[in-house]
Structure 1
Amino acid sequence: MDERLYEAAIRGDVQILLHLLNEDANMQAAEPFLDRVMRACSGKDNPLHLGALFGHVELVREISSRKPDFACQLNSKGLSPLHLAAERGHVQVVKVLLGTDADVCFVRDRDGRIPLHLAVTKGRVEVIEELVKAKNITAWLLTDEREPILHLCAKHDQFDALKKLVSLVRDDEFVRLKDSSDNTILHLLSAKKQIKVIKFLLDNSNIELEINALNVDKLTALDEVYLAQWEAGFSELKQILGGKGAKRSTDLSFGLPTNLPLKLTKQESKWLKRMEPSFLVLAVLVVSVTYAAVLSPPGGFWQDDYPDPGSIQNHAAGQPISWRMCT
């Protein structure tokens, strides 16, 4: 990048930028000045990156209007100018960039994060509002680790950002999104004992439908509370969740209907087919032994109707001796 342009971008000096553009136009170069700059800045910070980073609104407006493609160019860290402005909380710069091309909201950095994700991690509530209003769908986009944006708020303790997102999106399914470990937002908030935020969610969404959802560790939100029951807020949070029907996983019923059809995997079906002859042989043996016991009982049969000399009980001819011995 031209050193004079670099200094102008850092300082936000629009006059120097315009001077450089006019100077280049007078030289009648084969390739326009900003085209050459863009080519030279491939994989590096371009002037729009620097203007966005330092919050120079007028410089950003001038550059983006003359060369909109700068907005989609990524620097060495995989960040677009909108990523930088969103993370720094430069609301007016964000507005200018969105006005140039709102689709830049979908650009991901090398860590798979869109500008909204960075705004959330820093708690830039005003920026969050502008980004969601420009492209509402971005609030639904997961990180590359399959982490919903509300979980990202909880992870970084940005609870005002969480409330703002819930208020902006206003969709119960949005609040009920789960991460790759099947944690609901209640799991995370319960673990952090965020009583006010939990109350807010219970009052402003249908998250209570997921109040007994199990994560991959087979834990409910109430289980998360009990994992640190010595911490402040345990009793209050237990009462709040319990009032909405929250239970510990050990108190949940996992019974299944008895009329559910049995579904076997392909491997299980093959195993059963191979074992059919063995089952048949086993069944024949069981039946044979049963009939043998009936036809030839141990001890044989009584031959008369007289009492057994050693017993006060009578017996009849034809009765199995073993039956009388057991009665």
Structure 2
Amino acid sequence: MEKRLYNATKNGDKNELLCLLHEDAQLLDRFTKARYPETPLHIAAMLGHSEFVDELLIRMPELAKELDSRRRSALHLAVGKGHGQIVIRLLQVNPDMCLICDIDGRNPLHVAAMKGNLAVLRELFHVRPWAARSPMAQGDTILHACLLVTEGISDEEFVNRLNNEGNTILHMAITANQTQDESLSDTIRSKILVSTQERDQSNAILEARRSNVDWLKRKRHNLILVASLLADMAFHATVNPPGGVWHDNDPSHRAGHSVFADTYPNTYTQFLMSNTFGFMASLIVIQLLISGLTIRRKLFKRVLIAVMSVAIAAMGFAYAVSLVPLTSDPAYSWLFIRFWTIFMILLFTARAVRQMIKIFKFVGNLIMRFIN
């Protein structure tokens, strides 16, 4: 019975396979329970009988895990012969077979690289990209396997192909510290390092942009809430100023006019200006957040922080000034004003210094690039 099955497998005779399985439904089970040099799936995959392979996998998908006497899976053999359709079918059944190494320490990606079959290598890399990190028995990497076929890798599309994690095969080789091997040629190492540096720079830019977008999404509701509260405080402080309003008309004042304005005119002017600054800054923040302006996210974030800082600083100063008519000793109020002013000056100075350092670094990098 096994001999008839092998003959049917070599010929790719699907009808004969169905007849044999009709006669003995457990025929394929014996290949998973006993040790055979190779299974019908190995032979069919090596010979390229795709329909025969499909039928075997439908009837017994466990055959995809079986190894021959040299610890090769059917995927190894299909990759070695370049049968792309069969490779795709085997990957659909069990993609983890990409990680299995034969007696020589080669997984299917190594075999595809050594054969120079980039189309098959793309499929394998897309399914299990980390298999590219696995070294062979002698410590060689997948890049060494590529060197057995060609001195350089000229397929830029393959070199720069991204997996689901956004990495290329060269980037993963660098990650695994595989560029330390002195047997790699300078040309190949240069390609690897340049590709990896460009990928890292691109990822850093994308990560920075994503960070700014995430920050805006997380903080948008909180910023609107805080800005609304500040605007509400500023509005009520203007309508109902500290110290209240006069309730009667008199030669020295009139009803509805601020007591604060008549008693401390200069201080009231400072209060009104700072309160107005805080009110307007809060409204600007609210308007920016609800406008959906299509400007650079990083610039948008900086503008929001700057305007919000102005609103908070102005409201703090307005509160300090409002204590003048409410306390018996104005000295306490002026002490708080000095403290708040010094604090805000130090804070804005620190931010300015930080930005200047960034600008100096940027200019320095431009100069170094120009010199080099």
Q: Distance in 2 between matches of 1:107 and 1:63?
A: 21
Distance 1:141 1:166, change over 3 A: farther
Give the CA deviation at 1:159.
3.8
Q: Write the distance in 2 (CA, Å) between the matches of 1:50 and 1:161.
A: 33
Counterpart residue type for residue 44 of structure 1: P
2:27 is matched with 33
State the partner residue of 1:166.
159
Aligned counterpart, 2:49: 56
Count of residue pairs brought into register by the alignment: 195
**Do the aligned residues in 2 keep the contact of 1:166 with 1:175 (CA within 8 Å)?**
no
Corresponding residue SS for 2:185: helix
Amino acid of the structure 1 residue aligned with 2:30: R
| Residues 171 and 195, structure 2, Cα contact 8 Å, conserved in 1 | no
Q: Is the 8 A contact 2:54 2:89 kept in 1?
A: yes
Structure 1: which amino acid aligns with 2:22? N
Cα distance between partner residues in 1 of 2:36 and 2:191 = 43
What is the TM-score normalised by the length of structure 1?
0.53
Pairing 1:18–2:11 present: no
> Cα–Cα, structure 1 residues 18 and 146, in superposed 2: closer, same or farther, change >3 Å?
same
Provide the residue aligned with 1:3 in structure 2: 3
5+ residue gaps in structure 1? Answer: 26-31, 210-243, 245-327
Confirm or deny: 8 A CA contact 2:133 2:173 kept in the other structure: no
Match of 1:67 in 2: 60
Deviations 1:169-225 (A, max 9, x none): 53464243545x9326xx6223xxx5xx67754653329x9xxxxxxxxxxxxxxxx
- Out of 112, 115, 124, which is 2:108 matched to? 115
Write the distance in 1 (CA, Å) between the matches of 2:106 and 2:158.
Answer: 17
Cα shift readout 1:123-177 (whole Å, capped 9, x = no counterpart): 1111101111111211222223332212321244264487565323534642435
Equivalent residue runs for 1:212-291 within 5 Å: none
Q: Which TM-score applies when normalising by structure 2?
A: 0.47
Mapped pair 1:153 → 2:146: yes
Residue in structure 1 matched with residue 122 of structure 2 by the alignment: 129
The answer to whether the 8 A contact 1:108-1:115 is kept is yes
Q: 1:203 to 1:8 in 2, by over 3 A?
A: same
Question: Does 1:206 pair with 2:197?
Answer: yes
User: Alpha-carbon deviation of 1:43?
Assistant: 4.1
1:91 alignment partner, one of 84, 89, 105? 84
Secondary structure of 2:180's counterpart equals: coil
Find the counterpart in structure 1 of residue 181 from structure 2: 183
Corresponding residue of 2:327? none
Tell me how large the CA RMSD over aligned residues is: 3.0
Which of 63, 80, 97 matches 1:104? 97
Deviation at 1:18, TM superposition (A): 0.6
1:81-118 superposed Cα distances (whole Å, 9 cap, x missing partner): 00000111110000110111111111111111111111
